[in-house]
Chains A and B, each alone.
Chain A
Amino acid sequence: MNGAAAAVSPGGSAWRAAWRQLRARRSALLALGVLAAIALAALLVPCFSPYDYATPVWTRIFTPPTLQAGRIFGTDALGRDLLVRVMWGCRISLLVGVAASLVSVVIGVLWGATAGYLGGRVDGLLMRTVDVLYCVPFIPLVIVLEVLFGRNFLLVFVAIGTVSWLDLARIVRGQTLSIRAQDYIAAAQALGVRPATMIRRHVVPNLIGLVMVYATLTVPSVILFEALLSFLGLGVQAPLASLGSLVADGAGEMQANPYLLVIPAAFLAAIILCFNRLGDALRDAFESHRG
């Protein structure tokens, strides 16, 4: 009975339809809830905690997790509160993940849609640029940038941004080619709609499902990228921490104080897992809408 009711679309936009689909998937809702909880905690805990992430406390070095004085995650090699540091790490990682993904979505969608819609020489030029950028070795690029411009958090954004939109541009271009062949594109052209408006109004909205899915899957890969950079010491500048640098610090203490590794790694894993689950569910949701 339920299936029959779902088959008859009760109307509304693609967004609402996708949201209905998403709501029916409990694991996706759970992932969304966990992400929201982590984000909220990352936002609030550093504001209300009596400890700060930077000041060393030499009397409190390597306190294991305990309920006393609210040090539930313990302290690190410099006596800094791990809870606050992990929450700062989540802030940085989520910020990098979401911001860099947004940038890559904007560039990737405009780039790919323009190439796919206009076709011909423009297409060739834009996509060959993508091919060239694909050849740039990522880690050496970051090292060169940091040597040239010094350690700067913005560089992490730039470095991640330059590579992460490439995949999206290719995917969007492919999808645009198939959208372009649709009758409603010809119909809109027959109304005298100009190319810029065509892309903005007819092509991009039809990409939204795909882009949403891909963006959700880009966030964790960007977070992992950042973690990798920080693990190699190319990321955030100490004493600021990201999940990647916390894992790197913890890895050094793995033998004596495993909690320093396990806790940030668990948060990193949870965030990645939740984003991936959400992306999968979104793909299902938009696919079933299409069908």
Chain B
Amino acid sequence: MAEARGPLLEVRGLTVRYPGPRGGAGGGLRAVDALDLDLAEHECLGIVGESGSGKSQLLLALLGLQDPAAQVTGSVRYRGEELLDAAPARLAALRGRRLAMVFQEPMRALNPYLRILTQLTEGVRAHLGLGRRAAAARARELLATVQIDAPAQRLRQYPHELSGGMRQRVMLAMALMCEPEILLLDEPTTALDVTVQAQILELLRDVRRRTGVATLFVTHDLGALAAIADRVAVMYAGRMIEQAPAAELYRMPYHPYTVGLLGSLPRLDQPLDAPLPAIRGQPPDLTALPAGCAFAPRCARHFAACSTRPEWRSVTPSRQVACHLDGPAAAVGVGP
């Protein structure tokens, strides 16, 4: 209770490192590099970044589910309690109960040999000690919450009998079974087609309205985030480069990379044959990052200072950026 005013989840200097082939200093890479973030109660924080920017690695590390080869350092505090060195039993007790996760690929994240009922109720039966019938009743309730018709029948089916959208709803229901405080969403809409994406986003908003669950929404889709996130953080090469309230970030991005991301969204008000702006160059090779700012080689605005690593600094009380530029980067291609 003493920590009641602190953030629900506080991440400091989180680093996920994969040692090189010989485990020595040479080679190896940092999938997540000295990352800070806070998640307040009931808040939705969006994390956006390209493929390979370390978004999924971040989520897995929060739950202690990183690859066995990875070395995780830094600090992850849930209500003040350090999770990185927590005992396995304590982690298992928190996972699914307080922090629940929805995976990217609903096709692969359900066990093909188990009925929906078994998988949905696994968590509540373990965490809350519900009996078979009470758990099944709760499962039906949750399937109704995620707007699946005929829940009683669905519970008896196997994953391959459900469509992709339905499976993602089931995954969401599964995550919500124990009424967690933090929901980790790993690109929950990426594997779905656009209309289903919209439905799932609407569902997520609805669920958040009803339950007030704090949400960490990881995606590469800035459009999806605009619809749901209170704050947006941008990751690049495992580092946090900008973090701001959603509306401010979209209106006035500070980091040139954020500017580029926003600029490369297709826009309805542009002529159809106008070329789609893209950030030039390739996402960086994590094993051979430049010494300074990781984005510098692709940055149109880079200058001498960029050969040193920019610090993570606050530009206003509510927003931070890691860039040597003083003011907001020019809003290239971003309309009013």
Contacts and interface: CB of A to CB of B under 8 A. Distances in A.
Main secondary structure on chain B at its contact with chain A?
mixed
Given A11-B157, A183-B103, A193-B123, A188 B111 contact: yes
Contact of A183 (B96, B97, B108): B108
Contacts of A202: 111, 114
B105 interface: yes
Contact of B109 (A187, A206, A208): A187
B61 interface: no
A191 B108 contact: no
Interface string B93-122: 111110011010100111111100011001
B122 A201 contact: yes
B96 A192 contact: yes
Given A190-B100, A191-B95, A11 B60 contact: no
A202 B109 CA distance: 12
Secondary structure at chain A's binding surface: helix, strand, loop or mixed? helix
A207 to B, nearest CB: 9
Task: Bin the interface of chain B by size.
Answer: 35 or more
A186 interface: yes
A184 interface: yes
A178 interface: no
Contacts of B100: 190-191
B96 A190 contact: yes
A182 B112 CA distance: 11
Interface string A1-26: 00000000101111000000000000
Contacts of A12: 158
B105 A183 contact: yes
Contacts of B68: 119-120
A186 B174 CA distance: 13
Contacts of B158: 11-13
A208 B122 CA distance: 20
Given A11-B157, A11-B158, A187-B103, A192 B123 contact: yes
Given A192-B96, A202-B111, A206-B113, A187 B123 contact: no
A205 B111 CA distance: 10
Nearest to A12: B158
A197 B126 contact: yes
Given A9-B160, A191-B174, A201 B114 contact: yes
B171 interface: yes
B65 interface: yes
B122 A193 contact: yes
B138 to A, nearest CB: 14
B92 interface: yes
A191 B96 contact: yes
A184 B123 contact: no
Interface string A244-266: 00000000000000000000000
Contacts of B127: 192
Interface string B18-40: 00000000000000000000000
Given A14-B112, A183-B108, A194 B161 contact: no
A201 B95 CA distance: 18
Interface string B60-103: 10010100100000000000000000000100111111001101
A152 interface: no
Interface of A: 9, 11-14, 119-120, 182-184, 186-194, 197, 201-202, 205-206, 208
6 contacts: A14-B113, A184-B110, A187-B174, A189-B63, A192-B96, A205-B113
- 5 tightest A-B CB contacts, nearest first: A192-B96, A191-B96, A192-B95, A183-B108, A190-B101
